[in-house]
Every structure is written in C-alpha cells, then in structure tokens.
Amino acid sequence: MSSAAMHELAMRHRLQWWEALPWAAGLAAFFLFPNYLAFGTQVLVTILFALSLDLVLGYAGIVTLGHAAFFGAGAYAVGMLAAHAGWNEPLSGLVAAALVAGLLGLVSGWILLRTHGLTLLMLTLCTMALLEQAANMFSGWTGGFDGMPGLSFTPILGLFEFDVLYFRTQYLYALAALLLGFAVVRVLVYSPFGRSLTGIRENLLRMHAVGAPVRARQVLVYAISAALAGVAGAVFVQATGYVNLAVLGLERAAGVLIILILGGYGRLYGAFVGALVYMLLEHTLSKAYPTAWQLGLGLTLMLVALFARNGIFGLGDALRRRWSAR
Amino acid sequence: MSAALLETRGLCKSFGALEVARRIDFRLQAGARHALIGPNGAGKTTFVNLLTGVLAPSAGRVLLDGEDVTRLAQARRVKRGIARTFQINQLFRGLTVLENVCIAVAERMRAGGGMLRPAGQRAEVVAEAARLIALLQLDADAGRRVGELPYGRQRLVEIAIALGLQPRVLLLDEPAAGIPSAESHILLEAIGALPADIAVLIIEHDMDLVFRFAERITVMVGGAIFAEGRPAEIAANREVRAVYLGGALDG
C-alpha cells in the first residue's frame, strides 16, 4: 500500500532531534571560545550566505558564480545608509538590505534566467563584476577602493551594544540572523514551492508539461535567495563596522560555492559543515604556514572532489550505506 | 460534423529544408479514442510537440475548444486541459513515485506555488496522488525512488502524472513501449477507466493495442496525414497496408 509512503511524506518536514545540535554547538562555542567570537561571527555569516546559495543551486539547480553580488548589495546597502543617511539602526538595516538585494535578485533573475548552463554562469559573473566596478567608481558614495571603515551602529533593540573588540553581541546577533534565515529556507524547501524547485532541477521538460510556471518560480526563488544573501552581507558589515570591495568579489563568490560543494548541496546542513570546515582549515593553515596555506586548502579540496563527490555529507551517506549493507 | 475539442488547421513545421509537418488538418472530438500510427520518422511525436507547445509551428493553427492556442506556452495549454506522456520517460528520477505524482496534482490544484504548509501535509493532493497510484497498481512502489524502478513501471508513473492533470485532451506517445506484455493490461485498464468525455490520442506501434483501443485511426506518412477512418476501414485500406502495416494485419 502507498500509505507507508504517504506517512513518510507527511512526516518528512518534522524536526529531528539532531537538528538541535548545530544550535547547541553554536551556543556552546559562545561560552567555550570567548576569544574566537570574531571568527565565529564570520563563520555564522558565511553559513547564512552558503545557505542562501543552497536554495538556488542545491534545490533549484540554478548554477551561479555571482552570488556575492547579493551579499555585497546587502553589505553596501547598510554601509551607505549608515554612512550617508544616518540610518544606524541594525534591525531595520537588515530589512533594507533584504529589500535591496531581493529587488536586485528579482530584476537580474528576470533578465538572466532566460539562459542556463555556461551562459548563465558567465552572466551571473558579469553582473557581479558590474556591481563591483560600480562600487569602485562611485567612490563618493561607496568609498571606492578603500571602502567605508569605521561604521557604527546603534545597540540592537537599544539594549545590546556592538563592541568592536569583543564580538559577544555580534556573535549572538549573527546566530539569531542565521536561525531566522534557516527557518525561512527550511520551511520553503519542504513546501510545494520547494518541491517544485526540485522538480525543475530534476526534469525541466516534465515540469513544463505538468503546467508549472517554471521561470516565475525560478525568478522568485532567486530573489528570495538574494534577499537572504543580502542579510548575510548586512550582518557582516554591522558586525565588523566596515565594508569594502571584497564583499562582492569573485573570491567570495567562488569561496561560498566551494563551501557548499565541500559540505554537500541540496541538504540544508551542507552549508553548516562546509563553512565550518573550510574556515577552520583556512584559519589553522594560514597560521601554521603563512606563505603556503592555500596549497593545503587546495589539496584538501582536490581530495574532496576526487573521493567525496557529494561533499562531506555525501561521504557520511556512503559510509552509512556500507555499514548497513553488512 | 460536431465541433472538435482539439483541432489543427494547416499545421506546418519545418527545420530548414526539412518539412516534418505538412499542412496537417486534424480533428479530435470530445470523448474520442483516437490512434495515430505511421512508420518511424512520420512526424507523429513532432505533431504532439506542436499540439502541446514544445515546438512552435511554422504555419497553421491549433484550436482547443474553438479557441486559438497556437501562441500559448506549454504550461498554459496544460492549464487549459492538454496533457501528454513522453515517448521516453520524463520523470523526477530522484523523487519517489508518490512525490512525482504529487507534483503534477499540486500544479493542477494550483497549490504548486504554496510556500508555507509542507507538501506532504496537503491531504487533498496526496490522497489524489495515492488514488492514481492505486489505479496504475503502483502501490508497492509508492515510496521508492523512480530511478530505482524497472523501465516498465516508470512508464506507468508517466501515465499517472498525466492523469493527475485531469486533462480534457490526453496525448499518449507510445505508452506501451517498454511495458512488459504481462503488464500492458494495467495500461489499458487505466485508459479504460478514464472519464468518457476525455479525448485520448494514442501514438502506438503495437497494432494489437491500437485496434483494441481506437475507434478512429489516423495514418501519418512523411509529415502529412495519409489516411483516416474507422479501424475496419484502415485495416482494409490497401495503400495503408502497402506503406506501413505490411504484414502486421495479416496474421
């Protein structure tokens, strides 16, 4: 009978006990590693950014190399509002960043998502390069090459102050933003909308043939993902107090792609594991081998690409299958 | 003649110098059980692609219930009631059979864009999908990934998806190809259980199935309609025998 399958489908979105682990670990890290909270904040921001990419790449199958454009849009939005408009309130800043990045995603998605494959890859890259160049040129607004250092933001809810030396507030703020962003993504991927994205990824021809408005769905998820990336960028700027061209460069875009592939895409938690592993590697290797650390990172990535095609999570799956096959 | 549910007028399609559809005038009545036969390369699948909007015609029109749908995108035509199956399975291989059918049913119920309630909790969608899965005797495989199923079972999922769209016009492109003969009765029963007012057009090479199913047969050769008539007329038509049927009806 199909009742077992129906039951499985109806229960699939339920929270599992282990889904509390990342949040417990995130809180534990706050108390255990008080000297590493700045690094921890960077990790949390990167997870949120990678999660937004997972929504378009892992679930909807839209291959993009320019996702940092939206991270950067959110980052520059709060940065410019704070520097030029005196808009220093952090929470409304996040909303503004989400709107700016989301709108950019909507417009660029509407134009770019007529294409796919390599063409799309190139066009997303070009869009990001255009933004980067614009941020460089309009230096009166953006600070140009030097960016905008020394931005300050008012305490969150008027209570929790951002301390530039101790990242206690920043860390918890980033954790809260991540939790919120994660909740949005998780609800989306289990919804019929999310399933239809998976359908688009799995078989475009069939998705058209069941009457789904394919391109509208793609543009919509692209905009939602862009808004989330924008929030990640905004948190980054509010936490560190500066913004510069690095927020929307190719390095950041490629980095987040590598993180998602490293962790495993299309599975929500790949972003968590990928970001943590990648940034820990980067952190420890650059300390141990200040001149040659990228070599170690490169080798690790090559090993993953060769032996763990579906990332760290995929490797876990393979081991579990082998174990249960015994 | 009564008004046709689906009609083409002077439908043409060419790829460069290659004409794959030549001035096709075709009528499908409501409730029709119609077969489209012809040798390989006759343009049968191209014709289905023109009807469904996968291809745009070079000239001519497609009318559904008297309305011109020639310029409508594929998804729009589906919403108006034209559904199809593919000659080669087009399924969501990584998803379960139940999910495959649910996606189609959700789109038909206009619930496919819902963002809040989990897909598995949409009882009306899941129940409808389960009913179709039972109709095609796929219950035992409902929870399995489509990619893991034998090809013949996957063919039945194709049918279930098309039925999930509750079409007015159902276009079946070689539905029996790849289904083991022991299971082809499931297909016939499923088609037999369709509401009487649905128009069904079936492309098929299995003449046994064609003559059991069809009340009317159109023969296509070289992108054009060669002959059309009741099964007995087609079977008796010497020219049809010469170009296509050959010995198939002698046995």
Q: Which residues of chain A make contact with B118, given a CB cutoff of 8 A?
A: 10, 12-13, 190-191
Q: For position A290, what pLDDT does the model report?
A: 84
Residue A128 lies in a domain: yes
Give the gap in angstroms from C-alpha A26 to the nearest C-alpha of chain B. 27
Q: Are residues B179 and B157 in the same domain?
A: no
Residue A208 lies in a domain: yes
Q: Which residues of chain B make contact with A202, given a CB cutoff of 8 A?
A: 92-95
Query: Residue A12: closest CA among chain B residues belongs to which residue?
Result: B120
Residue B193 pLDDT grade (very low, low, confident, very high; cuts 50, 70, 90): confident
Give the gap in angstroms from C-alpha B231 to the nearest C-alpha of chain A. 30
Convert the pLDDT of each residue in A236-248 to its tens digit. Answer: 999 999 999 999 9
Give the gap in angstroms from C-alpha B83 to the nearest C-alpha of chain A. 7
Residue B122 lies in a domain: yes
Q: For position B180, what pLDDT does the model report?
A: 86
Residue B93 tokens, joined:
């291989």
Cβ neighbours of A68 (radius 10 Å): 30
Q: Are residues B97 and B191 in the same domain?
A: no
Q: Which residues of chain A make contact with B93, given a CB cutoff of 8 A?
A: 202-203
| Mean residue pLDDT across chain A | 92
Q: Are residues B183 and B245 in the same domain?
A: yes
pLDDT over threshold 70, residue A229: yes
CB contact under 8 A, A192 and B114: yes
pLDDT over threshold 90, residue B194: no
Out of A3, A13, A202, name the one closest to residue B92 (CB): A202
Q: Which residues of chain A make contact with B102, given a CB cutoff of 8 A?
A: 9, 195
- End-of-domain residue from the set B146, B165, B184: B165
Convert the pLDDT of each residue in B148-187 to its tens digit. Answer: 999 888 999 999 999 999 999 999 999 988 888 888 888 8
Residue A94 lies in a domain: yes
Residue B86 lies in a domain: no
CB contact under 8 A, B102 and A195: yes
Mean pLDDT score, A28-52:
96
What total of structural domains would you count in chain B?
Answer: 2
Give the gap in angstroms from C-alpha A261 to the nearest C-alpha of chain B. 19
Q: Which residues of chain B make contact with A184, given a CB cutoff of 8 A?
A: none
Q: Which residues of chain B make contact with A199, given a CB cutoff of 8 A?
A: 92, 95, 103
Q: Which residues of chain A make contact with B143, given a CB cutoff of 8 A?
A: 2, 4-5, 8
User: Is the Cβ of A114 closer than 8 Å to some Cβ of chain B?
Assistant: no
User: Is the Cβ of A217 closer than 8 Å to some Cβ of chain B?
Assistant: yes
Residue B12 sits in a domain whose CATH number is 3.40.50.300
Residue B2 pLDDT grade (very low, low, confident, very high; cuts 50, 70, 90): low
pLDDT over threshold 70, residue B245: no
Q: Are residues B68 and B181 in the same domain?
A: yes
Residue B246 pLDDT grade (very low, low, confident, very high; cuts 50, 70, 90): low
Q: For position B250, what pLDDT does the model report?
A: 45
- End-of-domain residue from the set B137, B165, B193: B165
CB contact under 8 A, B86 and A10: no
Q: Are residues B75 and B116 in the same domain?
A: no
Q: Are residues B27 and B121 in the same domain?
A: no
**Domain of A152?**
19-249
Out of A6, A191, A209, name the one closest to residue B116 (CB): A191
Q: For position A318, what pLDDT does the model report?
A: 82
CB contact under 8 A, B126 and A203: no
Out of B54, B120, B139, name the one closest to residue A9 (CB): B120
Q: Are residues B199 and B147 in the same domain?
A: no
User: Is the Cβ of A158 closer than 8 Å to some Cβ of chain B?
Assistant: no
CB contact under 8 A, A211 and B52: no
CB contact under 8 A, A190 and B119: yes
pLDDT over threshold 90, residue B100: yes
Residue A291 lies in a domain: no
Residue A190 lies in a domain: yes
Residue A187 lies in a domain: yes
Higher pLDDT, A191 or A325: A191
CB contact under 8 A, A209 and B119: no
Q: Which residues of chain B make contact with A204, given a CB cutoff of 8 A?
A: none
Q: Taking a C-beta distance cutoff of 8 angstroms, is the pair B36, B203 a contact?
A: yes
Out of B91, B111, B120, name the one closest to residue A203 (CB): B91
**Domain of B187?**
1-81+167-251
Mean pLDDT score, B94-121:
93
Q: Are residues B99 and B176 in the same domain?
A: no
Q: Are residues B76 and B198 in the same domain?
A: yes
Distances (CA, A) of A287 to A34, A169, A283, A294, B125: 19, 26, 6, 11, 55
Give the gap in angstroms from C-alpha B48 to the nearest C-alpha of chain A. 12
What total of structural domains would you count in chain A?
Answer: 1
**SS3 for chain A, per residue?**
CCHHHHHHHHHCCCCCHHHHHHHHHHHHHHHHCHHHHHHHHHHHHHHHHHHHHHHHHHHCCCCCCCCHHHHHHHHHHHHHHHHHCCCCCHHHHHHHHHHHHHHHHHHHHHHHCCCCHHHHHHHHHHHHHHHHHHHHHCHHHHCHHHCECCCCCCCECCCECCCCCCCHHHHHHHHHHHHHHHHHHHHHHHCHHHHHHHHHHHCHHHHHHCCCCHHHHHHHHHHHHHHHHHHHHHHHHHHHCCECHHHHCHHHHHHHHHHHHHHCCCCCCHHHHHHHHHHHHHHHHHHHCCCCHHHHHHHHHHHHHHHCCCHHHHHHHHHHHHHHHC
Whole-complex ipTM: 0.90
Q: Which residues of chain A make contact with B138, given a CB cutoff of 8 A?
A: 2
Q: For position B138, what pLDDT does the model report?
A: 93
Q: Are residues B188 and B127 in the same domain?
A: no
User: Poorest-confidence range of A73-87, A204-218, B174-188, B193-207?
Assistant: B174-188
Size of interface A-B (CB pairs under 8 A): 139
Q: Are residues B171 and B160 in the same domain?
A: no
Residue A311 lies in a domain: no
Task: Give the global pTM.
Answer: 0.92
Q: Taking a C-beta distance cutoff of 8 angstroms, is the pair B47, B224 a contact?
A: no
- End-of-domain residue from the set B124, B142, B165: B165
For chain A positions 264-323, those within 8 Å of chain B (CB to CB) are none
Q: Are residues B148 and B171 in the same domain?
A: no
Q: For position B251, what pLDDT does the model report?
A: 36
Convert the pLDDT of each residue in B38-75 to its tens digit. Answer: 988 889 999 999 999 999 999 999 999 999 999 999 99
Mean pLDDT score, B111-137:
92
